[in-house]
Amino acid sequence: MKLLTCCSFKGGAGKTTALMGLCAAFARGGRRIALFEADENRPLTRWKENARRRNAWDSQCEIFVADEMSLLEAAYDGAERRGFDYALADTHGGSSELNNTIIASSHFLLIPTMLTPLDIDEALSTYRYVLELLMSENLVIPTALLRQRVPVGRLTTSQRAMSDMLASLPVIQSPMHERDAFAAMKERGMLHLTLENLGNDPMMRLVERNLSLAMEELVTLSTLVDQAMEG
């Protein structure tokens, strides 16, 4: 089982959104996904509740509460025994022994960021913290930044400057654009199943193109992440 962790010191950086999107893309590809919820606010649990009400939760995926060390250990052991392909961990903000353990146990680390000066600063702080932790533990774990809420059209001058700042760092080449489909995942459920359910909801057919484009982006992103973890 491969463990992918989304981490950021800053709340609202897009950790949970990235994790939800990757979960949907992996599940669409037939992977069994364990979701480790280390955020005490339990956003993944609320996501599942919303998804099940809309018939948009994939049975190949399961949430394991992991906001304490003992729960994390039990979650990891349980997910491995049950044969999940991937575990996706949603860390809480800041540094802690729990976060450090999750980071050090991962096969791939993803640091989401929006293209604002504050978000970039926080992402770089997280990146430095991760590198120092890995060096102190003599570990080599692939780590990359993920650009979130990137405008579909032309970037502003400030956004372009922020994007250029990341050019010398490992950045996932496929960003997550600013789409309603991504923003609404927490309420609608898993994106691939939301798409499948369009035929049962005439109103949703109006946004089919937006959902399809968002799903295409997630498939590309998941392929790049998959290659990084397998490689």
Domains detected in the chain: 2-230 (3.40.50.300)
Low-confidence ranges of the chain (pLDDT < 70): 199-206, 231
How high is the pLDDT of residue 150? Answer: 92
Q: Which residues contact 42 (CB under 8 A, 6 or more apart)?
A: 65
How high is the pLDDT of residue 210? Answer: 86
Element at 90 (helix H, strand E): strand 86-90
Q: Residue 21 has what DSSP assignment?
A: H
How many residues are listed for the chain in this entry?
231
Q: What residue type is 68 in one-letter code?
A: E
Q: pLDDT (tens digit, 9 = 90+) per residue, 53-97?
A: 999 999 999 999 999 999 999 999 999 999 999 999 988 777 789
- Per DSSP, helices labelled H in the chain are 15-28, 43-53, 69-81, 97-104, 117-136, 157-165, 180-183, 185-188, 191-196, 208-230
How high is the pLDDT of residue 154? Answer: 87
How high is the pLDDT of residue 122? Answer: 92
End-to-end CA distance of the chain: 14
Q: What residue type is 225 in one-letter code?
A: V
How high is the pLDDT of residue 137? Answer: 93
CB 161 within 8 A of CB 154: no
What is the Cα–Cα distance from 231 to 220, expressed in whole angstroms?
A: 16
Find the Cα–Cα–Cα–Cα dihedral 173, 37, 33, 14, rounded to 10°: -20
How high is the pLDDT of residue 71? Answer: 93
